[in-house]
Structure 1
């Protein structure tokens, strides 16, 4: 299949957020962290399939089939607790493709890792980047409901500020304070600190 003319439709940030909020709120039990695997497997009926060598041989953490039946994840990372946060984000990322790119993926005819690699290898790199960026944004909004992040952010900011004052550190720059909070917020939502930093940076947007 020729992917050289592949184009990703533009999606505004608020469109991606709305879609993430809509699908999460339809199935979510309001607990944090969001149980992404339950939503994918129980509510949406997709099968999460650990695939040996997916990352080692192809460089991918996960991919979704064009018929929306399977989400394949790297076997080693799936069963390694040190990669649990990354796997959660990868699953939410693939859900983003299902919600945002359903028509696109159906035309790609991806049903194996070889199919996905052929697509990755031949699609224009700027278009692949747009596709992945949209799915990453979806994952961030899906796993980190912004109304709850705002509450947790305010609570933690007060706690950290009081700790610094007691330690004799006053007038700490907000950016320094936020950097001091990111790891704790990441633990609450069970995502990586890097992903949480992006969520916090866009909290007021």
Structure 2
């Protein structure tokens, strides 16, 4: 199975369209639960052992009506940001890869695991990258990302100055990105790693 390849720009456009249509008011954090339940009519169903036994955090049902998620992640508040990203990721698969789900058959998480094992790794990498990009863009609206960065300008200038004093060289931007991500990730209810990825993918200028 060869998945349809999308440009990052087209994926971002689709994520923006979903957010605009199903999350009115342009507020953060984006309520992914509301989008999934009321916008798309999807059920979120926790499954025990999904992660520990199959190394799967989330997956769509074959008929695209249910998102199965690992029960430990679902029931532990410490994993809130991971759960939110997983739900957005699976929604990305639904929107981007519907044709794939309609072309295959599986009845259980075990069947899905075997199906994924049989897919070429290069194709599988694109499949996951597509959904990751969709999830990140959906949960981190670029206008809000820019606003949060602008509010940190004084701190960012200090961090850049300190990095220069310590001679970090080419590592400076990564260091500052990490600082910014740790500062603002809680505003979006995502992980710092998600913010760092958005900063790179959006080619965000940190000093305004």
TM over 0.5: yes
Cα distance between partner residues in 2 of 1:75 and 1:57:
12
Gaps of 5+ in 1: 1-5
TM-score, scaled relative to structure 2: 0.87
Q: Distance in 1 between matches of 2:178 and 2:193?
A: 11
Shift of 1:186: 1.0
Residue 199 in structure 1 maps to residue 195 in structure 2: no
Task: Please list, as runs of the form range in 1=range in 2, the aligned pairs for 1:81-96 lying within 5 A after superposition.
Answer: 81-96=77-92
Looking at structure 2, the residues matched to 54 and 107 of structure 1 have their Cα atoms a distance apart, in angstroms, of: 24
* Alignment of 1:134 onto 2:133: no
Once the two structures are TM-superposed, the CA of residue 171 in structure 1 deviates from its matched residue by 6.6
In the alignment, the residues of structure 2 paired with residue 27 and residue 14 of structure 1 have an alpha-carbon distance, to the nearest angstrom, of 20
Number of residue equivalences:
195
Contact 1:67 1:111 survives alignment (8 Å): no
Counterpart in 2 of 1:80? 76
User: Is 2:55 aligned against 1:59?
Assistant: yes
State the partner residue of 2:3.
8
SS in structure 1 at match of 2:67: strand
1:34 to partner: Cα distance: 0.5
Cα distance in 2 between the residues matched to 1:147 and 1:21? 11
Structure 2 partner of 1:68: 64
Cα deviation, 1:42-89, whole Å, max 9, x if unaligned, reads 221110000011001100000001211100000011111111111100
TM-score normalized by the length of structure 1: 0.88
**2:21 is equivalent to residue 26 of structure 1:** yes
| Structure 2 match to 1:3 | none
Query: Residues of 1 paired with 2:156 and 2:48: CA distance?
Result: 46
User: What's the RMSD between the two structures over aligned residues?
Assistant: 1.8
Which residue in 2 is equivalent to 1:105?
A: 101
CA distance in 2, matches of 1:131, 1:48: 21
After TM superposition, the structure 1 = structure 2 runs for residues 109-188 of structure 1, keeping only pairs within 5 Å, are 109-156=105-152, 158-161=153-156, 164=158, 170=161, 172-173=163-164, 175=173, 176-188=175-187
Matches of 2:48 and 2:183, distance apart in 1: 32
Q: Specify the SS of the correspondent of 1:68.
A: coil
Shift of 1:153: 1.3
Q: CA deviation at 1:111?
A: 3.6
Structure 2 residue runs without a partner (length 5+): 165-171
